[in-house]
Amino acid sequence: MSKKQIPEVDIVVDEKAGVIREVKQATRSKSGHERRVNTSIYIILVIMSIIWLAPFVFLVFQSFRSYKLESGGMVDYLLPKNGWSLDNYRFLFEGSNFFPWWGTTLLIAALCAAVLTLATVMIKRLGSENRHMKTLLTVLALVVGYGLFIALMVRLLGLAVSAEIAGKLVLSALLLLIAGYIVARFYLKQDSRLLRSIPGYEKEKTSDVVKKVIALFAEFAVIFAILACILKPMTASQYLNWYGNTLTVALFTAVIQTVIVLSVSYALSRLRFRGRKLIMNVVLVLGMFPGFLTMITLYFLLKQLGLTQSGAIPGMILIYCASSGMGYYISKGFFDTIPKSLDESARIDGATRFQVFLKIIMPLAKPIVIYTILMAFMAPWGDYVFASYIAFGSEPNFNVAVGLYRWVNVNDYQGYFTRFCAGGVLVALPITALFLALQKYYVEGVTGGAVKG
Amino acid sequence: MASVTLEHVKKIYDNNVVAVHDFNLEIKDKEFVVFVGPSGCGKSTTLRMIAGLEDISEGVLRIGDRVVNDVEPKDRDIAMVFQNYALYPHITVYENMAFSLRLRRMDNEEVHKRVVQAADILGITEYLGRKPKQLSGGQRQRVAIGRAIVRNPAVFLMDEPLSNLDAKLRNQMRAEIILLRKRVDTTFVYVTHDQTEAMTLGDRIVVMKDGYIQQVGTPQQVFDTPTNLFVAGFIGSPQMNFLKARLEKGANGYQVNVLGVQLPLNAEQNAALTERGVLSQDITLGVRPEHTSVLFEKTAGAIECEINVNEMMGSELHLHLSSQNGDRIIVRLPTVDLSAEQRSRLAYGNKMYITFPAKVMHLFDPKTEKNLIFG
Amino acid sequence: MTDLEYLKLSKPAKLIFRIHQFFKNLPGMAWNGLKGLGLAIARLFGGLGKSVADLVTTFKDGDWKTRLSYLIMGFGSAARGQWGRGLLFFLFQTVFNVYMFMPNAAFSGCYYLGKLSTLGTVETYKEGRRTVYGDNSFFILLYGVLTIFFILAFIYTWRLNVKQNRISEQILKSGHRLKSTRDDVKSLADEQFHKTLLALPTLGVLIFTALPILFMILVAFTNFDSTHQPPGKLFTWVGWDNFHTLLSTDTASYGNTFSQVLLWTLIWAFFATFLNYFLGMLVAIMINKKGIKLKKMWRTILVMTIAIPQFVSLLYVSKMFAADGLINGALMRWGWISSPLPFWTDPHWARVTIIVINVWIGIPYLMLIATGILMNIPADLYESARIDGANAFQMYQKITLPYMLFVTGPYLLTSFTGNINNFNVIFLLSGGKPLSLELSGNAGYTDLLITWLYKMTVNDTNYKLAAVMGILVFVVTAVINLIVYNMIPSVKNEEDFQ
């Protein structure tokens, strides 16, 4: 017989509690042992945190060492000896009118966003029951806002009107219209008089309204900033060029790839049709081939289309998006968890499959949509291989990864190391901020994906 | 308002499993039909074929006069209530109920009128502004029903709508469905595995097993004259008792030998058996627990049993007995008639004697499992 | 052996029994696989035969509209009022014909198809100062493959077009109405919604993944490399020579190098997967322990390595460990060492350094996953274990670990194959270095198959070997997948937590 004593039963049911929580407390003397364990865990965690953060802290420190006065290369000390300097950062922007451009653009964007927000809120408060009237007014406001934006850009920034710019103007107008539609759809959806008359109807809180207005303003401001980036009426430095390229690629990839991935995963998860299994098996087999195998072929295919070197930006977007349908696993796994009876119920209610997709599944799939957008947006920032191959030798068309990699590895890195650090910091900052802000959705995506395989 | 007709309807799945064999049924306009059977009997599949959620492999399905085999669910003019309610979690109860009307581009005023009216019928007016998550099970069920009735569908389909509710709520909702049925006078097709629901709700019951229809009839018919062993066992609670017995054809009519007791049949039964030309044979004798009486003393024509379990249900007792050759028998006893002395004798191991009149006996062929008289 | 007898075995005995069972079943499985393949082929031919027979009967029974559709695609559909379908069929046929039989014969589908067997015979030569271009083997192969794709697609569409006629005839005969173009367009949002959703993604995968992969598989059988580079030079078919070059162990071949790189790839994948897995789980358990405060902060700190683009973090860390980098500098200044530690110059140092740095990158990811799963382990499992008298370690061993392994089994598999192809970490950290004269083909000691493939493509333009390597990576991945998938069901006896 074992002498093990059966611990007394004192189970604390605590829903939120983690799993390993009450592992010890029953048998041992709680306080002393528990405290020792916790202390050692804290020590381990602190050490880990130091290891995890140290490289990033070092990176930041070294980015402030002047390459002119001290040394741009690698040295065996950390803190700058000749004082902290912004030389590296200055270098990144050298030769560009970025700051005046950005300042003015920001002003213009803020102004236009304010005008549009005001217009939208006013239209919303009109309280008209006529949806068409509202939509018309919204479109009118958009046109006015956009016109104002263009006029100011031309006037204040001396935007030269050429065929290329005209094309970009049309493109950006489309962008704005799409955004405007979304805005009209969600912000103008004022509850009708009838709805307000039902019992249990809760009036919107003032704080909610304020939040909505702020969100609206931010949304417009971001759109205008993006438009400004597309229009690009500035002389850019080498680094800014790369940065702009990457941002453009990332934005387009995020949108297109998300649409593709969601379409494919919805089709494979919810619809039943001949060849569904075949498609999944073919994708599985194709996925086992290493991606770089296809690189040369893709290069020549793109070359035929004129999408290499000087056309590398659309080329990259094409490459990132073309095969993105193969990465459907995680979002399909998510769709699989939404009960099928919702679809069936909606179909009996009279919805087409397209309407089911748009009105039922999409609103429920918000976390996975955000996860997909986040992943699609982040990937282009880190891609070196395809980007360097497609843009081979055409420096203005590099993305940040290629440009910075060349600074440290191909150029004399002894001279460019601190500038690489500065460039890296500027790339990492917004991406990290975005990631940490949306961390929740990322966690949801990876855990869901891992559990379902 | 419409009838629903199924002619030789068959469902074969991709893996060649046949879920429904040759289903023939005519559901009349404004009739309430219940499909009942154990899980996997094909009742839900049949309902989903009527809804258009499953393809029909063979046969013809009509709603009204129209053949709807290849018509999309949205064009069939039906509404359906699902077992797990299938409420859209991201919109309010109001919008849930208005969803189908808005898809049909109905006028706002009309939508509002219908939603409020339906909510009024179901008593969920005060929850219209809430999201489904904030509702209890019973309220969700009501919303699901409300979502179906706002459309005034020609056919109302319900797929085990009460099975996610607890027992008390289920009884209450069952009564409400009966009331609802009086208000929205339309064709109902209702699927359940619970025979009590089937008996209480249906104008007609369709008992199914393994993809075959076993019997179609009013609740009374199905209860009184089950056509086979399965229906006899499935309908009624507690289950019908089955005893091994022998049918003997004698000079003055048929008699049943069971556990050493001879029980003559009545005139009607005799006539029916004679007409069918039934000979002496082994049979399975079926007797419902509520048709069995208990005697405390040995009497001629009574079967001797031993008490196993005595279940007290309040107004009645369920007595579990075993006969001499091991057949298990359940008897229902109203408690009012029992004296204290009698109760004390209903203990484990005591001997009891049971009798039943000829007219409550059901005779089944043990091989074909058919009822010898009605099958 | 009955189930009960199996259950009586001790743990190692069970394992031995399972492995024994696996190998005993192996021939059977292989046989079943072959049989399945044979059946599939038989079905394919059967289907083809049926198709041909069907074509004949359709022609015999069909009216003149149907018969004309054999020549002019879509005619039948258009003539029966289905304009949309008819037009699409006709358009496809026209495009196909134009592509195949373009008047400028030098670039038609037929031209490429005709040259496919030789990959071109006319050399490029110089006439004085002018270059006269001959055949371009690359395009012949690429467009040859594309043409074959196109022809298959055409045959399929043509067959569809004929079938359409038969179906339409039958529908009309039974007195029903045909779907109008309007109905067809409408159904794209409903019954045929999957076509709308999948059309573009499928096309993208076909052209930008399937076509290139097929092309590269074919390149593995040619001598396409830096000395046979179009448009200047031709390349041609060489059969299995490249496989021989890469796999045989002659002195002039790559066999030794290949086996070394493959071995390192597998070692790397093993450590990168399982070291991260167990350490990540450990960290998750520590952070989630009751009484530990600031859980969110610890998590956020660790997650930084996921958030920051790898080319920044890994490039920087790689420089930190360089001979003249921060770490060596600091150690030397403090007098702990006299010469730099050979982080990137000694093969063993480099390999260990890479695995360790990968832990830095990989733990947070596993920590997040493990946290999610740990939260989901039903608390009553632990409660019941405590009542049974288990201590903390036993609970970890008997509950936490099996549960995690069971839930993340498929993930471990994908993670393992993912690490075989983990390009970024190796490329950004060491670039495959250190190089050595003992290894051929410019491979370094930390090169994985995938980075070696990259080098062959980009630095050496040795496309033929890169193609062979790609195929071999596929084979390795596929074999691992097959084995593990076949093993997983055999584990289900014990670890079923569902």
* Helices A276-287 & C193-205 angle (0-180, nearest 10): 20
Beta carbons of A446 and C369 less than 8 Å apart: yes
| Chain A residue with the nearest C-alpha to that of B51 | A348
Beta carbons of A295 and C457 less than 8 Å apart: yes
State mean pLDDT over B288-302: 87
| Chain A residue with the nearest C-alpha to that of C299 | A49
Where is pLDDT greater, at A151 or C94? Answer: C94
User: Is residue A16 pLDDT above 90, yes or no?
Assistant: no
Beta carbons of A349 and B126 less than 8 Å apart: no
Among candidate residues A68, A89, A110, the one where a domain is terminated: A89
Question: Are residue A136 and residue A42 in the same domain, yes or no?
Answer: no
Q: Please list every residue in chain A whose beta carbon sits closer than 8 Å to the beta carbon of residue B84.
A: 339, 341
Question: Are residue A69 and residue A157 in the same domain, yes or no?
Answer: no
Give the integer Cα–Cα distance in Å for B190 and A292: 58
Beta carbons of A350 and B100 less than 8 Å apart: yes
CA atoms within 13 A on the CB side of A1: 3
Q: What is the pLDDT of residue B87?
A: 93
User: Is residue A452 pLDDT above 70, yes or no?
Assistant: no
Find out whether C440 and C259 touch, Cβ atoms under 8 Å.
no
Q: Any CB–CB contact under 8 A between A297 and chain C?
A: yes
Q: Any CB–CB contact under 8 A between A436 and chain C?
A: yes
**H/E stretch holding B217:** strand B212-217
- Domain count across chain A: 2
Question: Are residue A244 and residue A136 in the same domain, yes or no?
Answer: yes
Find out whether B169 and B161 touch, Cβ atoms under 8 Å.
no
Beta carbons of C410 and A452 less than 8 Å apart: yes
State mean pLDDT over C192-196: 91
pLDDT single digits (tens) C233-269: 888 899 888 888 888 877 777 888 888 899 999 999 9
- All structural domains of chain C, each given as residue ranges with its CATH number in brackets, are 62-239 (no CATH), 255-495 (1.10.3720.10)
Helix, strand, coil distribution of chain A in percent, nearest 5: 75, 0, 25
Among candidate residues A70, A89, A108, the one where a domain is terminated: A89
Q: Any CB–CB contact under 8 A between B104 and chain A?
A: yes
Rounded to a whole number of angstroms, the distance from the CA of A364 to the nearest CA of chain B is 7
Where is pLDDT greater, at B155 or C388? Answer: B155
Give the integer Cα–Cα distance in Å for B113 and C109: 65
| Chain A residue with the nearest C-alpha to that of C139 | A300
Of A18, A75, A290, the CB nearest to C375: A18
Across A27-41, B100-114, C245-259, least confident range: A27-41
Of B53, B89, B130, the CB nearest to A344: B53
Q: Any CB–CB contact under 8 A between C201 and chain A?
A: yes
Where is pLDDT greater, at C217 or C458? Answer: C217
Q: Please list every residue in chain C whose beta carbon sits closer than 8 Å to the beta carbon of residue A20.
A: 285, 288-290, 374, 382, 392, 396, 400
Multiple choice CATH, B234-364, 3.60.15.10, 3.30.70.100, 2.40.50.140, 3.10.20.30: 2.40.50.140
pLDDT single digits (tens) C342-362: 888 888 999 999 999 999 999
Instruction: Return the percentage of chain C with pLDDT > 70, whole number.
Output: 96
Q: Any CB–CB contact under 8 A between C106 and chain A?
A: no
Exposure string over C209-222, b if 16+ CB within 10 A, otherwise e: bbbbbbbbbbbbbb
Q: Read off the tokens for B202.
A: 């249906």
Of A199, A339, A341, the CB nearest to B126: A199
- Strands B18-27, B204-209: pairing is unpaired
Q: What is the average pLDDT score of chain C?
A: 85
State mean pLDDT over B349-363: 89
pLDDT single digits (tens) B202-254: 999 999 999 999 999 999 999 999 999 999 999 988 899 999 999 988 888 88
Q: Any CB–CB contact under 8 A between A351 and chain C?
A: no
| Chain A residue with the nearest C-alpha to that of B156 | A348
Q: What is the pLDDT of residue A195?
A: 67
Rounded to a whole number of angstroms, the distance from the CA of A449 to the nearest CA of chain B is 23
State mean pLDDT over C170-186: 85
Exposure string over A376-387, b if 16+ CB within 10 A, otherwise e: bbbbbbbbbbbb
Q: Any CB–CB contact under 8 A between C490 and chain A?
A: no
pLDDT band at B47 (very low <50, low <70, confident <90, very high): very high
Q: What is the pLDDT of residue B105?
A: 87
Rounded to a whole number of angstroms, the distance from the CA of A218 to the nearest CA of chain B is 25
| Range C251-256, long-range pairs (CB < 8 A, 24+ positions) | C253/C440, C254/C440, C254/C441, C254/C465, C256/C439, C256/C440
Give the integer Cα–Cα distance in Å for C304 and C290: 24
Taking CA atoms, B172 is separated from A7, B133, C144, C247, in Å, by 46, 22, 73, 77
Beta carbons of C189 and A292 less than 8 Å apart: no
Beta carbons of A354 and C373 less than 8 Å apart: no
Give the integer Cα–Cα distance in Å for A322 and C276: 32
Q: 3-state DSSP call for residue C164?
A: helix
Question: Are residue A177 and residue A273 in the same domain, yes or no?
Answer: yes
| Chain A residue with the nearest C-alpha to that of B155 | A348
Radius of gyration of chain C (CA): 31
Find out whether C445 and C439 touch, Cβ atoms under 8 Å.
yes
| Chain B residue with the nearest C-alpha to that of A272 | B54
Q: What is the average pLDDT score of chain A?
A: 81
Q: Please list every residue in chain A whose beta carbon sits closer than 8 Å to the beta carbon of residue C389.
A: 4-7
User: Is residue C292 pLDDT above 60, yes or no?
Assistant: yes
Give the integer Cα–Cα distance in Å for B95 and B108: 12
Q: Please list every residue in chain A whose beta carbon sits closer than 8 Å to the beta carbon of residue C207.
A: 301, 322
pLDDT single digits (tens) A88-126: 888 888 887 777 777 887 888 888 888 888 887 787 776
Question: Are residue A262 and residue A386 in the same domain, yes or no?
Answer: yes
pLDDT band at B201 (very low <50, low <70, confident <90, very high): very high
A positions 231-260 inside 8 Å of C (CB): 260
Q: What is the pLDDT of residue A188?
A: 64
CB within 8 Å of A103: residues ≥ 6 apart? none
B positions 135-174 inside 8 Å of A (CB): 147, 151
Where is pLDDT greater, at A18 or C346? Answer: C346
Q: What is the pLDDT of residue A7?
A: 42
**H/E stretch holding C329:** helix C326-333
Handedness of CA C298, C299, C300, C306 (dihedral sign): positive
Question: Are residue A256 and residue A377 in the same domain, yes or no?
Answer: yes
Find out whether C21 and C490 touch, Cβ atoms under 8 Å.
yes
A positions 281-310 inside 8 Å of B (CB): none
Return the number of other C-beta atoms located less than 10 Å from residue A269's C-beta.
19
Q: Any CB–CB contact under 8 A between A198 and chain B?
A: yes
> Domain spans of chain B?
29-56+66-222, 234-364
A138: domain CATH number is 1.10.3720.10
Beta carbons of A292 and C286 less than 8 Å apart: no
> Which amino acid is present at C292?
I
Across A75-79, B168-172, B262-266, C168-172, least confident range: A75-79
User: Is residue C77 pLDDT above 80, yes or no?
Assistant: yes
Question: Are residue A84 and residue A111 in the same domain, yes or no?
Answer: no
User: Is residue A448 pLDDT above 60, yes or no?
Assistant: yes
Q: Residue A18: inside a domain, yes or no? A: no
Highest mean pLDDT among A204-213, B258-267, C89-98, C114-123: C89-98
Q: Any CB–CB contact under 8 A between C208 and chain A?
A: yes
Radius of gyration of chain B (CA): 25
A positions 195-224 inside 8 Å of C (CB): none
Give the integer Cα–Cα distance in Å for C326 and C307: 23
End-to-end Cα distance, chain C: 26
C positions 210-239 inside 8 Å of A (CB): 210-213, 215-216
Of A195, A348, A364, the CB nearest to B80: A348
Beta carbons of A200 and B108 less than 8 Å apart: no
User: Is residue A225 pLDDT above 80, yes or no?
Assistant: no
Return the number of other C-beta atoms located less than 10 Å from residue B325's C-beta.
9
Beta carbons of C216 and A293 less than 8 Å apart: yes
User: Is residue C135 pLDDT above 90, yes or no?
Assistant: no
Q: What is the pLDDT of residue B359?
A: 87
Residue A56 belongs to domain spanning: 31-89
Q: Residue A25: inside a domain, yes or no? A: no
Q: Any CB–CB contact under 8 A between A200 and chain B?
A: yes
pLDDT band at C302 (very low <50, low <70, confident <90, very high): very high
Beta carbons of C414 and A291 less than 8 Å apart: no
Question: Are residue A67 and residue A168 in the same domain, yes or no?
Answer: no
Taking CA atoms, A145 is separated from A121, A149, A223, in Å, by 14, 6, 12
The gap from C-alpha B106 to its chain's centroid, in whole angstroms, comes to: 38
Beta carbons of B112 and A348 less than 8 Å apart: no
Give the integer Cα–Cα distance in Å for A111 and A148: 9
Beta carbons of A350 and B116 less than 8 Å apart: no
Of B82, B89, B126, the CB nearest to A364: B89
pLDDT band at C88 (very low <50, low <70, confident <90, very high): very high
Q: Please list every residue in chain A whose beta carbon sits closer than 8 Å to the beta carbon of residue B78.
A: 348
* β-pair partners for B188: B32, B156
pLDDT band at C492 (very low <50, low <70, confident <90, very high): very low
Q: Read off the tokens for C125.
A: 């030569």
Q: Any CB–CB contact under 8 A between A1 and chain C?
A: no
Name the burial class of residue C440, with classes exposed (0-12), middle (13-18) and buried (19+) by CB atoms within 10 angstroms of its CB: middle
Question: Are residue A73 and residue A189 in the same domain, yes or no?
Answer: no
Q: What is the average pLDDT score of chain B?
A: 90
| Chain C residue with the nearest C-alpha to that of A430 | C308
Of A342, A349, A363, the CB nearest to B103: A349
pLDDT single digits (tens) C478-490: 988 887 776 665 4
Beta carbons of B74 and A348 less than 8 Å apart: yes
Rounded to a whole number of angstroms, the distance from the CA of B144 to the nearest CA of chain A is 10
Q: 3-state DSSP call for residue A198?
A: coil
Sheet holding B4-12, edge to edge: B18-27, B4-12, B58-63, B66-67
Q: Any CB–CB contact under 8 A between C19 and chain A?
A: no
CATH topology of domain B29-56+66-222: Rossmann fold (3.40.50)
E strand residue ranges, C123-254: 125-127, 130-132
User: Is residue C189 pLDDT above 60, yes or no?
Assistant: yes
Question: Are residue A39 and residue A165 in the same domain, yes or no?
Answer: no
pLDDT single digits (tens) C361-371: 999 999 988 88
Instruction: Return the percentage of chain A with pLDDT > 90, whole number.
Output: 25
